[in-house]
């Protein structure tokens, strides 16, 4: 087994494009769940809103790539309003049910063949991100490495821009959560009746939180499709949402840094396990294949089993994750 | 406690692995086969299609014979993409569902996998799924289909609603219980009891070597009930006792759902499958409606079972206790009802019903992610009827089934599941407690 190679892969994954996209998506979810206590089970719908905001602007409206960013943000805001208005007056699980249903409906709708002129249907949208890479100071196809970190030039550029956006989002979240608005939001999460008795309109605060977290999620979706240079409807499936949830709970909801740390741990862990299994000597591989049918295809399915098991165990035994405090984040529902 | 359930999972996986191993020991030629026929709308006869071109990607293609049959031999087991050339069909004959011109099938070692391309005769005006217009016949047919889907859905939805009623938990893993029933029945159908207890293998069916689908369905239902019991006993009872909040429990059901779903995929692989019996049945005409006999029997069974559930809830002591706990847990407890026992009963019966519903759905197609694909419908049904009410779930499921099928008159069939979301959002805006729910439930 080539441990040097596995180490390099693991370290590169820790701050790689996936870790970055999921960190940003989890920051958005942290605003929803960590600070506002909203059970958004459809974060992937916001990612899709951002992704299709970019893609459709180029493909359907035939406009400049950069105009796609405001469009993506607009779609996310509209989505937050549509989801929030009927549900946020009700108990928490209604939002959960409606968001998971809506995110899956978005996927069905964009891949509908009747939309092929607008969203590219199941083919998706390709080759739209050229203006982004035109600004790349690195050579797109060349590998760059620094210590154990090794990426293609195009990914170096995506990572630089992406992590900058992650940091800015952290800064924004940190600032608004210390503001009076953020304190009121947390008060609503802790005791909605008390906050309402003090004259705070809990409903409006919750809708606003849903919109802010949704926009951050949309930015994550944009970064994802820029990195892939392609918008594919089936990448926006509900398992992504729950991977983001696992990352958030792992880090600890309600803490500024925890989504980033959770994402780094998650991706380095997954890549480490997969590479170790793939790198096993062929004798051990054969044994595994004959006893538990662990083939090359199955290895990538293990990741989802781990997400499921991890979510189950974390929610049961350590809902505050690594950094959260149990008192503040008892995952309580009034 | 969790260690126990992890062991259960491991045992389950290992059990299934060993059994598929037994079967794959045989070494035979495998193939895909089928028959191309359509019903002549005037004479009502089955007409075979000669010369329809079937292609297996990477293997080759063959035209159908004079009796409509085709068979293509395959070099090795695995997943194959089988397609039909829609252009090569006779004038006026089309695929029933144009999306199913390309199918993925999973062929086992030595297996002969049937491939179904359903053909229909359409007038030029009827072509396309939305341009058919509103004819009385179409509405009647879609109503029957909607009723069918609604009945099967109701079997799954009742358990979901009752679990919410008794414990307050929204069980996102309930859809996986539906899939489990479907896959469990498939498993017993093909491997028999020997699938679970290895030494029975040399015995004749139903002990070794597969059993009839009817028996398999019963065992699938038992397996579903057992899984429901185990989930409650080993996962959620402990969580309730140590005061894990409902939100955390909801996240646990999400985790469980993903875990189970990918175990299904790991064990059963992707690709759609069908049961060993009653696969290629001809639809029978009753007035304006066409239904296969298997669906008619399953629908009648579903009606009988749902009536029995109603009688059980209304008349028996346990049923009354269930409704009492649903209504008000504290009050029920103080009158001496053993709440934990009621919850356990709810899980077992809810999961068993979901499993049987899964088997009924499986008569059409079996998929590892079937339940999850229909999660939206399940929740729409329960929210529409009112979370926590058994009869509401039944009513909601029937309405959702009818609504999504009838909606295909005006919208593309590919989008019909979105109607369920629409129904859900509208009911939440107009009457958030659902049709039969009471306002205090929504908090």
What would the pLDDT profile of A114-141 be if each residue is shown by its tens digit? 888 898 888 889 888 889 999 999 988 8
Higher pLDDT among residues A326 and B372, named by residue: B372
| CATH number of the structural domain B31-128 | 2.60.40.1120
Q: Which of A114, A313, A333 sits opposite B247 (nearest CB)?
A: A333
Is a pLDDT exceeding 80 seen at residue B188?
A: yes
Average pLDDT, integer, range A61-74: 93
Q: Does residue A327 have a pLDDT over 90?
A: no
Residue A169 lies in a domain: yes
Give B122's pLDDT tier (boundaries 50, 70, 90).
low
Q: Is the minimum CB–CB distance between A81 and chain B shorter than 8 Å?
A: no
Q: Is residue A320 part of a domain?
A: no
Query: What's the pLDDT score for residue B156?
Result: 93
- Give yes or no for a contact between A216 and A78, defined as CB atoms under 8 angstroms apart: no
| pTM, full prediction | 0.80
- A316 versus B211: which is more confidently predicted? A316
Interface test with B, best of A312, A318, A332 (most B CBs within 10 A): A312
Nearest to B248 among A238, A304, A331 (CB): A331
Lowest mean pLDDT among A50-64, A289-303, B6-20: B6-20
A2 pLDDT more than 90: no
CB atoms within 10 A of CB A127: 9
Q: CA of B243: which chain A residue's CA is closest?
A: A316
- Rounded distance, CA B375 to CA B343, Å? 22
What is the average pLDDT across B31-58? 75
Mean pLDDT to the nearest integer, A174-196: 91
Is the Cβ of A234 closer than 8 Å to some Cβ of chain B?
A: no
**Surface-to-core class of residue B126, CB atoms within 10 Å of its CB (0-12 exposed, 13-18 middle, 19+ buried):** middle
* A294 located within any domain: no
**Whether B255 and A291 lie within 8 Å, measured CB to CB:** no
Chain B residues 149-188 within an 8 A CB cutoff of chain A = 170, 172
pLDDT digits (tens, 9 = 90+) for A228-260: 999 999 999 989 999 999 999 999 888 899 999
Considering only alpha carbons, which residue of chain A is nearest residue B428?
Answer: A86
Tens of pLDDT, residue by residue over B293-340, are 888 999 999 999 999 999 999 999 999 999 899 888 889 989 999 999
CB of B358 within 8 A of CB of B182?
Answer: yes
Q: Which residue has the higher pLDDT, B3 or B190?
A: B190
Asked whether the predicted pLDDT for residue B54 surpasses 90, the reply is no
- Considering only the beta carbons, identify the residue of A114, A301, A332 that sits closest to B265: A301
> Burial level of A166, CB count in 10 A (0-12/13-18/19+)?
buried
Residue B125 is encoded by which pair of tokens? Answer: 């005006």
The pLDDT, as a whole number, for residue B43 is 61
In a domain, A122, yes or no: yes
B7 in contact with A, Cβ within 8 Å: no
pLDDT the model gives residue B16: 43
Find residue B291's DSSP bridge partners: B284
First and final C-alpha spacing in chain A: 52
- Cβ-defined contact of B245 to A100 (cutoff 8 Å): no
Per-residue pLDDT at A115: 87
Residue A329 is predicted with a pLDDT of 57
Interface check for B409 against chain A (CB to CB < 8 A): the answer is no
A311/B255 CB distance under 8 A? yes
pLDDT value at residue B432: 85
Per-residue pLDDT at A290: 80
Q: Does residue A176 lie within any of the structural domains?
A: yes
| pLDDT value of position B174 | 95
Residue A68 belongs to domain spanning: 3-235
Backbone angles phi, psi at B114, to 5 degrees: -80, 140
Across the interface, whether the CB atoms of B17 and A292 are under 8 A apart is answered: yes
Sign, Cα dihedral of B334, B335, B341, B347: negative
How far is it, in rounded angstroms, from Cα A274 to Cα B3? 24
CATH of domain B137-442: 1.10.3470
Query: Chain A residues with CB inside 8 Å of B262's CB?
Result: 301, 304-305, 308
**Which B residues, 240 through 269, put their C-beta within 8 Å of a C-beta on chain A?**
244-252, 254-263, 265-266
More confident residue, B17 or A82: A82
Question: Which band of pLDDT confidence, cut at 50, 70 and 90, is reported for residue B85?
Answer: confident
State in Å, rounded, how far the first CA of chain B is from the last one: 33
* Window from A186-190, B69-73, B157-161 with minimum mean pLDDT: B69-73
State residue B38's pLDDT score: 79
Give the per-residue pLDDT at B13.
45
Task: Say whether pLDDT at A37 is over 70.
Answer: yes
- In chain A, how many domains are there? 1
Higher model confidence: residue A81 or residue A114?
A81
What confidence score (pLDDT) does residue B37 get?
A: 80
Closest Cβ opposite residue B428 in set A86, A304, A313? A86
C-alpha separations of B300 from A221, A271, B139, B205, B297 in Å:
47, 51, 21, 27, 5
- Of B97 and B364, the one with more pLDDT: B364
Where in chain B are the domains?
Answer: 31-128, 137-442
| Strand-pair partners of B120 | B94
ipTM of predicted complex: 0.89
What number is the average pLDDT over the span B199-206? 60
> Does A101 contact chain B (CB < 8 Å)?
yes
> Nearest Cβ partner of A90 from B14, B421, B442?
B442
Closest Cβ–Cβ partner in A87, A89, A249 for B251 = A249
Please indicate, yes or no, if residue A53 is contained in any of the structural domains: yes
For residues B65 and B67, what is the distance between their CA atoms, to the nearest angstrom?
Answer: 5
**Pick the residue with more confidence: A258 or B20?**
A258
Check whether B128 has a pLDDT greater than 90: no
Within 10 Å of residue B442's Cβ, how many Cβ atoms? 18
Put simply, whether A293 touches B (Cβ < 8 Å) is yes
Please report whether residue A27 resides in a domain: yes
Give the pLDDT score at B202.
62
Residues on chain B touching A105 (C-beta within 8 angstroms) = 376, 417-418, 421
pLDDT category at B259 given cuts 50, 70, 90 is: very high
> Using CA atoms, how far apart are residues B157 and B312, in angstroms rounded to an integer?
17
Measured distance CA(B361)–CA(B134) in Å, rounded: 27
Diameter of chain A measured on Cα atoms? 69
Per the model's pLDDT, the better-predicted residue between B301 and B136 turns out to be B301
Q: Which of B13, B244, B412 sits opposite A112 (nearest CB)?
A: B412
> Average pLDDT in the A310-328 region?
83
Question: What pLDDT does residue B440 have?
Answer: 60
Which of A43, A79, A94, A109 to substitute to test the interface with B, most B CBs within 10 Å? A94
- Report the phi/psi class of residue A230: left, alpha or beta, with left for phi > 0 and alpha for psi in -120 to 50: beta
Q: Rounded mean pLDDT of A31-40?
A: 92
pLDDT per residue over B273-299, tens digit each?
Answer: 888 877 667 778 888 888 888 889 999
Tell me the pLDDT band of B14, cut-offs 50, 70 and 90. very low
* B67 or A160, greater pLDDT: A160
Question: Region B207-235: what's the mean pLDDT?
Answer: 89
- Residue A250 domain flag: no
C-alpha dist (Å) from residue B149 to A97, B278, B400, B435: 21, 18, 9, 20
pLDDT band at residue B113 under the 50/70/90 scheme: confident
Give the nearest partner residue to A96 out of B170, B263, B425, using CB atoms.
B170
Average pLDDT over residues A145-161: 91
Mean pLDDT of chain B: 81
Most confident of B15-29, B71-85, B380-394: B380-394
For B168, name the nearest residue in chain A, comparing CA atoms only: A93
Please give the Cα distance from B93 to B124 (Å, whole number). 10
pLDDT at residue A330 tops 80: no
Question: Ranked by mean pLDDT, which of A268-282, A313-327, B221-235, B416-430 comes out on top?
Answer: B221-235
B31-128 against B137-442: fold identical = no
pLDDT band at A215 (very low <50, low <70, confident <90, very high): very high
pLDDT at A33 over 70: yes
Q: Looking at residues B111-116, what average pLDDT do you find?
A: 78
CB contact under 8 A, A101 and B254: no
């Amino acid at each position: 087994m080539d441990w040097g190679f596995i180490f390099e892969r693991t370290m590169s994954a820790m701050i790689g494009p996936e870790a970055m996209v999921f960190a940003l998506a989890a920051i958005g979810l942290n605003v929803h769940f960590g600070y506002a206590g909203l059970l958004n089970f459809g974060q992937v719908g916001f990612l899709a809103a951002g992704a299709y905001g970019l893609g459709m602007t180029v493909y359907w409206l035939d406009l400049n790539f950069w105009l796609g960013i405001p469009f993506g943000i607009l779609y996310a805001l509209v989505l937050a309003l549509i989801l929030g208005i009927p549900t946020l007056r009700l108990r928490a699980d209604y939002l959960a049910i409606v968001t998971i249903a809506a995110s899956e409906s978005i996927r069905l709708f964009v891949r509908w063949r009747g939309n092929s002129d607008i969203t590219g249907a199941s083919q998706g949208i390709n080759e739209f991100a050229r203006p982004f890479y035109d600004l790349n100071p690195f050579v797109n196809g060349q590998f760059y490495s620094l210590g154990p970190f090794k990426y293609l030039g195009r990914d170096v550029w995506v990572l630089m821009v992406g992590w900058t956006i992650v940091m800015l989002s952290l800064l924004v979240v940190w600032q608004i959560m210390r503001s009076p608005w953020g304190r009121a939001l947390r008060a609503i999460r802790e005791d909605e009746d008390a906050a309402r008795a003090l004259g705070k309109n809990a409903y409006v605060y919750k809708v606003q939180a849903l919109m802010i977290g949704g926009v951050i999620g949309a930015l994550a979706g944009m970064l994802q499709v820029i990195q892939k240079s392609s918008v594919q409807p089936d990448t926006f499936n509900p398992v992504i949402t729950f991977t983001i949830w696992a990352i958030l709970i792992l880090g600890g909801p309600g803490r500024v840094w925890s989504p980033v740390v959770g994402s780094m741990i998650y991706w380095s862990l997954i890549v480490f396990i997969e590479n170790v299994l793939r790198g096993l000597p062929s004798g051990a591989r054969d044994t595994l294949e004959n006893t538990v049918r662990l083939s090359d295809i199955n290895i990538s399915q293990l990741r989802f089993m781990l997400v499921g098991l991890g979510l189950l165990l974390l929610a049961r035994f350590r809902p505050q994750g690594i950094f959260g405090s149990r008192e503040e984040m008892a995952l309580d529902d009034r | 406690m969790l260690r126990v359930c992890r062991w259960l999972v491991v045992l389950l996986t290992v059990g299934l692995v060993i059994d598929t191993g037994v079967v794959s020991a045989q070494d035979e030629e495998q193939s895909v086969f089928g028959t191309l026929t359509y019903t002549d709308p005037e004479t009502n006869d089955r007409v075979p299609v000669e010369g329809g071109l079937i292609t297996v990607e990477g293997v080759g293609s063959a035209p159908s014979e004079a009796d409509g049959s085709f068979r293509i031999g395959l070099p090795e087991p695995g997943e194959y993409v089988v397609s039909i050339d829609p252009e090569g069909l006779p004038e006026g004959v089309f695929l029933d569902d144009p999306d199913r011109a390309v199918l993925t099938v999973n062929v086992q070692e030595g297996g002969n996998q049937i491939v179904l391309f359903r053909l229909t005769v359409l007038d030029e005006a009827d072509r396309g799924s939305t341009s058919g217009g509103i004819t009385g016949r179409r509405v009647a047919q879609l109503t029957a289909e909607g009723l069918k889907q609604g009945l099967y859905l109701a079997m799954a939805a009742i358990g979901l609603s009752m679990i919410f009623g008794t414990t307050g938990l929204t069980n996102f893993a309930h859809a996986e219980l539906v899939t489990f029933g479907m896959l469990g029945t498939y498993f017993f159908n093909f491997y028999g009891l020997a699938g679970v207890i290895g030494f029975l293998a040399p015995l004749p069916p139903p002990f070794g070597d597969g059993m009839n689908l009817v028996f398999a369905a019963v065992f699938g239902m038992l397996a579903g009930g057992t899984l429901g019991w185990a989930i409650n006993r080993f996962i959620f009872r402990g969580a309730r006792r140590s005061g894990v909040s409902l939100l955390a429990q909801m996240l646990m059901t999400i985790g469980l759902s993903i875990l189970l779903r990918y175990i299904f995929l790991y064990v059963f692989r992707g690709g759609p499958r069908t049961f060993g019996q009653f696969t290629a049945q001809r639809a029978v005409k009753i007035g304006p409606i066409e239904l296969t006999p298997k669906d008619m029997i399953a629908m009648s069974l579903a009606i009988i079972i749902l009536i029995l559930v109603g009688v059980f809830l209304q008349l028996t002591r346990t049923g009354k206790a269930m409704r009492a706990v649903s209504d008000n847990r504290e009050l029920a407890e103080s009158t001496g009802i053993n709440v934990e026992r009621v919850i356990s009963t709810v899980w077992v019966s809810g999961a068993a019903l979901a499993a049987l519903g899964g088997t009924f759905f499986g008569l059409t197609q079996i998929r590892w992610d079937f339940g999850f694909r229909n999660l939206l419908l399940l929740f729409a049904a329960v929210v529409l009827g009112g979370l926590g009410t058994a009869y509401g779930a039944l009513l909601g499921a029937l309405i959702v089934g009818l609504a999504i099928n009838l909606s295909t008159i005006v919208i593309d069939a590919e989008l019909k599941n979105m109607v369920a979301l629409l129904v859900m959002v509208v009911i939440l805006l107009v009457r958030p407690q659902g049709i039969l729910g009471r306002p205090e439930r929504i908090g």
